[in-house]
Amino acid sequence: MKYLRYLLAFVPLAAAAEFLHWSPILVFVFSCVALVPLAGLLGEATEELAIHTGPQIGGLLNATLGNAAELIITIVALSQGQFDLVKASITGSILGNLLLILGASLLLGGWRHGTQKFDRTLTGVSATMMTLAVIGLIIPTLFELLHELQSGRLDVFNTNVNDPALNQLSLWVAGILIVLYLLSLLFTFRTPEREEHSGTDDHSEEEQAHTARWSVPMSVGVLAISTVAIVFLSEFLVGAVEPVVESLGISKLFLGVIIIPIVGNVAEHIVGVQVALKNKMDLSLSISLGSSMQVALFVAPLLVFISLLFGPELTLFFSLFEVVALTLAVFSATLVSVDGKSNWLEGAQLLAVYLVVALGFYFTGAVVPAQ
């Protein structure tokens, strides 16, 4: 992961592009690239603090700050009224974890080690939680679609509506999802840790991973500096979205679903694939499934409540295409992981689904009528 730090050179480049009024495309590209190492440093600082604080508090830190970089980006977009971008980013993050990172992990890990095994309990609980999370998104979406159909003003492309009933429903559902997430944390903390399914008996790497390399002050300092830098770069990135959409002719939906989630999660994606290559599939699946569960049950509902600070409320009313894509992603990930073993072909299948979904969002966004 250290090689990602070379990309920190793009942080001053992004700042120069913003303040010297360079092309919005350069501002967007430089900001995206610069966010990658900063997200990695933020995650690394969280891991170091988790080692110092012990397994219980450390697990809570990882559970709440695991998607901190993406949360910051979406909060900045929320503050600027980019609700479509926020919802697309939520959708893209879940799809990326369930299809892209899990698919790449199964493909590369299976190509090296053949059939790989992992804990079926882990995948079973995660699959159930993700199904419940998708239900939490489907219900507000179906409610509003039926409401619009009944009133004769159905618009399947516009999810930014002013419906007091939808606002109340979204707040209640968001609260339920957060409680469900907290219950899942309690279940995880109270469940005895299972032995890692691994093809090696050498635990030197595990012991090294559980030895802190940074002091607490250094970890806190890196966490604070990374957070501040991510806030500023997120401002640059979100501010450049509209000009980039107009210049390149791609949709805001595609940017939100495909590009921005990859930027915020690429460091975590790399770790998930690396541990799969080491035949540590329980850890690899906990990264991909755990991150998607965190976004669906914690980040998305939290953003609903945070939006109350900025005026117009963010709702859990997603486009029908997004809801269907999320449902199919959860179904596909469950199918390939529920038996407790995997191979490289199943990874290729998940990647194929991701590419098909990405193409769908690209062409769907291209036909969205101008508002």
pLDDT digits (tens, 9 = 90+) for 166-220: 999 999 999 999 999 888 888 877 765 555 454 444 444 444 455 767 787 888 8
- Secondary structure of residue 117 in the 3-state scheme: strand
d(CA 105, CA 348): 10
Give the pLDDT of residue 202: 46
Cβ neighbour number for residue 149 with a 10 Å cutoff: 10
pLDDT (0 to 100) of residue 262: 83
For residues 1-24, average pLDDT = 85
pLDDT, tens digit, 9 for 90 and up, residues 310-348: 878 889 999 888 999 999 999 988 888 888 888 899 999
Q: Are 332 and 98 in contact (CB under 8 A)?
A: yes
* Integer Cα distance of 167 and 276 in angstroms: 41
Whether residue 48 contacts residue 223, with contact meaning beta carbons closer than 8 Å, is answered with no
Closest to 139 (Cα-Cα) out of 314, 316, 304: 316
Q: What confidence tier does 42 reach under pLDDT thresholds 50, 70, 90?
A: confident
Joined tokens for residue 297: 């049950």
Instruction: Tell me what percent of the chain is helix, strand and coil, each rounded to the nearest 5.
Output: 80, 0, 20
Give the mean pLDDT of 151-168: 79
Residue 352 confidence (pLDDT): 94
Which helix (H) or strand (E) covers residue 3, if one does? Answer: none
Average pLDDT over residues 153-170: 81
Per-residue pLDDT at 64 exceeds 70: no
Report residue 341: phi and psi, to 5°.
-150, 160
| CA separation for the pair 10, 155 (Å, rounded) | 41
